[in-house]
Amino acid sequence: AHAEPKELLELALAAALEAGRLAADGQAGIRVLDTKSSPTDVVTAMDRAAEEQIRRRLLGARPGDAWLGEEGGEEAGTSGVRWIVDPIDGTVNYLYGRREWAVSIAAEVDGEIVAGVVAAPALGETFTATRGGGASVNGEPLRAPGAVALDMALVGTGFGYEARRRAHQAAVLATVLPRVRDIRRVGAAALDLCDLARGRINGYYERGTNAWDWGAAALVAAEAGVRVGGLRGAGPGSDLVIAAVPGLFEELHDLLEPLGADTDG
Ligand code: LIP
């Protein structure tokens, strides 16, 4: 059955905090220089274990819901509710013992995300939002600061994993970098959008991310007053996500559009 966004948020929050503890406890044991087993395999195993734990908790409570997970793929449901889950966004940071990684859980009702949690245990930060109900960090209301001009903007971005895509992303960046205050590459799309919601960056764009990376965080950002979209009026998608408060959003959009930032060149 359908549920209220607040109920879905509570469930998602409990699941994200639990999975965050599991992953945080496991992070210390990962050694990048360990020669016996590949560290990437260890991270993949943790990704799977965390997603499985989230799935047990969410689908245990709501068996008719649909699923879209980074590790577990897609599964249809009957309730009209779909969970969109990234057990560890920022896996390279996680692997290197860095703190910028997060568990991301979004609840979609009839195709629209209505609740989202981004839990970053190593940072001690948990972001939550419900559609129309505002966004918070650690329970404190979040409001993005007003627009700055593009040349004063600190802009976050990220890069894909394939060489060809990266070469074009580097070409786009070569045009963007001289036009802005500076660039940040934090390594977790969910945290980029949450950082934007609290004014730690002013803008963000990235090609090639998936709904599990940005679904929950896009709601946090939108509820904090950030515009999140794509090129030419499109919504955010794997082609391109652009985010900034109104005013700066249009400037960033108009800079990226002629560069083909939504393509691989
Ligand atoms: C990662 C993103 C990162 C992006 C990578 C990747 P993962 O997600 O959050 O910002 O640049 O392409 O998608 O793989 O760590 O879940």
Atom 11, ligand 1: which residue's CA is nearest?
Answer: 158
The residues facing 157 across adjacent strands are 205
Element (H, E) at 51: helix 39-61
Tell me the residue ranges of DSSP E strands in 110-153: 112-120, 125-130, 134-137, 140-141
pLDDT computed for residue 3 by the predictor? 86
Q: Pocket of ligand 1, candidates 51, 84, 89, 201: which has the most ligand atoms within 8 Å of its Cβ, to mutate?
A: 89
If phi > 0 it is left, if psi is from -120 to 50 it is alpha, else beta; for residue 225 that is: left
Q: Are strands 154-157 and 182-184 parallel, antiparallel or unpaired?
A: parallel
If we measure between CA atoms, which residue out of 210, 265, 239 comes closest to residue 86? 210
| Kind plus residue range of the DSSP H or E element containing 109 | strand 102-109
Whether pLDDT at 130 is above 70: yes
Ligand 1 pocket at CB < 6 A: 70, 86, 89-91, 158-160, 187-189, 206, 208-209, 213
Domain ranges of the chain: 5-141, 150-259
79-129 pLDDT per residue, tens: 999 999 999 999 999 999 999 999 999 999 999 999 999 999 999 999 999
How far, in Å, from the CA of 3 to the mean position of ligand 1? 30
Q: What is the CATH number of domain 150-259?
A: 3.40.190.80
pLDDT digits (tens, 9 = 90+) for 184-239: 999 999 999 999 999 999 999 999 999 999 999 999 999 999 999 999 999 999 99
Atom 4, ligand 1: residue with shortest CA distance: 158
- Output the pTM of the full model: 0.96
Q: Tokens 């945080």 belong to which residue? A: 24
| Enclosing H/E stretch for 214 | helix 211-223
Does 32 have pLDDT greater than 70? no
Q: How many helices (H) and strands (E) does the chain have?
A: 7, 13
Q: How far is the CA of 1 from the centre of ligand 1 (A)?
A: 33
Whole-number Å distance between alpha carbons of 109 and 1: 11
Residue 79: phi and psi, rounded to 5, are: -95, -15
pLDDT at site 2: 67
Q: Which one, of 208, 210, 200, 250, lies nearest residue 229 by Cα?
A: 250
pLDDT band with cut points at 50, 70 and 90 for residue 1: low
The ipTM estimated for the assembled molecules is 0.95
Instruction: Tell me the binding residues for Mg(2+).
Output: 70, 86, 88-89, 213
The whole-number average pLDDT for the span 147-167 is 96
Q: Which tops the pLDDT comparison, 36 or 9?
A: 9
pLDDT at 36 over 70: no
**53: its two tokens:** 């734990």
Tokens representing residue 21 in the block: 């503890």
Pick among 3.60.21.10, 3.40.1390.10, 3.30.540.10, 3.40.1390.20: CATH of 5-141: 3.30.540.10
Name, in order, each residue with C-beta under 8 angstroms of 14's C-beta and a sequence gap of 6 or more: 57
Q: Best mutation site among 209, 210, 214 for ligand 1, i.e. most ligand atoms within 8 A of its Cβ?
A: 209
Q: Are 67 and 75 in contact (CB under 8 A)?
A: yes
Q: So what's the pLDDT on residue 42?
A: 79
Would the pLDDT of 38 be above 90? no
| Longest CA–CA separation in the chain, Å | 52
Confidence of residue 153 (pLDDT cuts 50, 70, 90): very high
Output the CA 169–ligand 1 centroid distance in Å.
Answer: 14
Cβ neighbours for 263, distance < 8 A, ≥ 6 positions apart: 168, 207, 239
In this predicted structure, what is the pLDDT of residue 102? 98
